[in-house]
Amino acid sequence: MLIELIDIRKYYDSKRYRVVALDGVDLKIDKGELLAIMGKSGCGKSTLLHILGGLIGTSDGTYLYQGETVDFKNKRKLAEFRRNNVGFIVQDFALIKEKTIYDNVELPLNTRNLSKLKRKEMVNEMLEKVGLEDKIWRYPYELSGGEQQRVAIARALIHNPKLILADEPTGSLDDENQIIILKMLKEVARKGTTVVIATHDIAIARECNRYLYISDRKIRETELL
């Protein structure tokens, strides 16, 4: 098992009221699992992914990663946790438009003690894997939406994370590119990386190993129709 969440709660307080985002979430995720998390807009899918990725802390509950508690109060260890274990993919690609495709993919390696030659080898290899080796010196605005998402996947995978978190990764793509991106994520999971996809698309969920649904700020496990 890679991840276990125990009675996770997340709420936001103001002077007048409390907004509850997650209310007692229990979840186990295995290594190499391709998991879909579904739910209506605002149900807490993104909040859950942000907690899994160490981007935001919990209000209560325990997050175990490979059997060890994730300490949200220790910012240094939390940054190290993200850097060493997690890759993120989002709907709008989040590429830096002023940087080339090469520079965007190389970005996660800049905090590592690697030679320029080694980084170049890793970027070239990753772009070849996603079929974009001929676009290496292009800029994001010169690529199609599907190509930009493939760049985002390359960037997420470049440091060999154990966990990929994908927030609506196919939401802005046409059917053909949705199939391409999902096929790539399935291959990533097949090779042992855990992939968690937040999606509203039942067709995407059908292709995953397991499907969960968030409602009333809790996780429900339901058979796919």
State residue 222's pLDDT score: 60
34-44+72-221: what CATH class?
Answer: alpha beta
pTM: 0.92
List own/partner pairs for 62-66 with CB under 8 A and 24 or more apart. 62/4, 62/5, 62/6, 62/7, 62/8, 63/3, 63/4, 63/5, 63/6, 63/8, 64/3, 64/4, 64/5, 64/6, 65/2, 65/3, 66/2
Q: Return the pLDDT at 51.
A: 97
Alpha-carbon distance of 225 to 208, in angstroms, equals 14
Q: What is the pLDDT of residues 81-97, one digit of tens each?
A: 999 999 999 988 999 99
Cα angle value 65/93/145 (rounded, 5°): 140
Return the domain boundaries, the chain.
Answer: 34-44+72-221
**Confidence band of 174 (pLDDT split at 50, 70, 90):** confident
Q: What is the pLDDT of residues 22-58, one digit of tens each?
A: 999 999 999 999 999 998 887 889 999 999 999 999 9
